[in-house]
Structure 1
Amino acid sequence: MRDYDGKTAAERTAERRQRLIDAGFELFGEHGYAGTSIRAVLRRAELRDRYFAESFPDLDSLLAAVYSQLIEEEITACRAAIDAESGSSDGGARAMIAALVRSLEGDPGRARIKLREAAAGGPVSRRRRQDGLHKLAELVASLLPPSKTRSAKDQLLLSVGMVAAADEWLTIWIDGEQNLTPRDVVNLVMTMFVALAEPDATDATHD
């Protein structure tokens, strides 16, 4: 049943939830998780107090939702970049990390949420961050050529390590440390990817 504005109750609830996520994205990016309150989110979203509990039990859950939206946007961008590469798996991997770099370049709020705040929140957002790392790792693993010396599980776990390393290099670049540039980040990640992609009959995971 639709009311006077032509929207159902479920549609209005979904819109309010998205307004809270958008407000959280802005505030977590500006002030961090510790510097953000539910009341500040409600003010930024221009919603009354009762509407927060309608969508989220606490601020940690809102941060998890913000991170989920961020990671889904990244995965969509990475898939599009990979699909645009018709060459080798190396080309797809390079396109993927370049897409991640572009998503953070010039957007300090997004970088802060991805690289710091998701890990600094509560258990819900920290778990969501782990899920996000695994989703990106699945993309990396899909680019690796089949291995005679590693199981699919090993390929995925190694890819998780590569994604975690990429996050660390992205953090160093964003923080302006060690004169690291976006090109350096891409090249570092590619060095690791090429090493993982090369077949090795004496792979240490099966020693």
Structure 2
Amino acid sequence: MGAGPLARRDYAGRSAADRRAERRERMLAAGLELFGTEGYAAASIERLCALASVSTRNFYEEFGSREALLTALHDRVNTTAIGAVREAFAALPEAGLVERVRLAVRTYLDVTVQDPRLARVAYVEVVGVSAEVERYRAGWRERWIELLVAEAERAVARGEATRRDFRLTAIALMGAVNELVHHWSVLGGITPIEDITREIARIATASVAD
């Protein structure tokens, strides 16, 4: 009797979907290791597959290209970071601007620079890869801009800032964050991350409250 369209095959207690998910995680781990240590340009699909112990067929079925793997890693770190910042804000609804800015910066950096490989992928390797990747980055930039503008407008409502268009402020702040963390990443963490955190919080607070 033939299997229906929803039937699945289990191997050693694992479904095909489970095994595919496991392969995907191995490929993401391989991408993080090679992109985050040797760089995107140096990581061929063959090397990625060898490190992940998957076939090139598996790779193309899951990602289709190295760019797709790179953006999947970038998407994961940004999704985690923006979720963590929103949760941190929600936990301190009555906190003032300075406290919330410091909390947001610390939370963001805890996610994005916890692993130097993540920082390199997020701030170095993903930049300038292709027009398509730049469009993808622009999409994430807009999400962060919306969050920053909303936080600035909250400060206005609390009497902590003067009402104005905060979009350019948000863009400038993102540029400062990117440059400072890029500096930290490229120099191998010589500058203490605590100094980076304090500087970003100082810039953010001053730019909104000005």
Instruction: Bin the TM-score by the shorter chain.
Output: 0.7 to 0.9
2:74 touches 2:126 (CA, 8 Å); kept in 1? yes
Deviation at 1:74, TM superposition (A): 1.5
- Segment of structure 1 superposing worse, 78-87 or 35-44: 78-87
Correspondences of 1:7-18 after superposition (within 5 Å): 9-18=16-25
Deviation of 1:98 after TM superposition, in Å, equals: 1.1
Letter in 2 for 1:27: L
Give the Å deviation of 1:56.
1.9
Which of 143, 147, 151 is matched with 1:143 structurally? 151
* TM-fit CA distance, 1:3: 0.8
- Residue identity (%): 27
- Rate the CA distance shift 1:83–1:44 in 2: closer, same or farther, 3 A: same
Task: Kindly state the Cα deviation for residue 12 of structure 1 after the two structures are TM-superposed.
Answer: 4.1
* TM-score (structure 1 length as normaliser): 0.79
Equivalent position SS for 2:150: helix
**Matching residue within 68, 81, 88 for 1:81:** 88
- Alignment of 1:182 with 2:182, yes or no, is no
2:99 maps to which residue? 91
2:8 to 2, 10, 19: 2
Deviations 1:32-65 (A, max 9, x none): 1001011111111111121111122211111111
- Aligned twin of 1:102: 110
Alpha carbons 1:38, 1:59 under 8 Å: kept = yes
- Deviation at 1:120? 4.0
Give 2:171's aligned residue. 160
- TM-superposition CA deviations, 1:65-108 (whole Å, max 9, x none): 11111111222222233333341132121111112333355622
Instruction: Encode CA deviations 1:93-152: one digit per residue, 9 max, x unaligned.
Output: 1111112333355622111111100104233333332323332332222211247753xx
Would you say the 8 A contact 1:61–1:124 is kept in 2? no
**Cα distance in 1 between the residues matched to 2:163 and 2:58:** 54
**TM-score, normalised with respect to structure 2:** 0.78
Instruction: Single out whichever of 157-166 and 45-54 deviates more from structure 2.
Output: 157-166
Letter matched to residue 9 of structure 2: D
The Cα shift of 1:187 comes to 3.0
After the TM superposition, which of the residue ranges 41-50 and 4-13 deviates more from structure 2?
Answer: 4-13
Write the distance in 1 (CA, Å) between the matches of 2:187 and 2:51. 30
Work out the CA distance in 2 between the residues paired with 1:129 and 1:186. Answer: 23
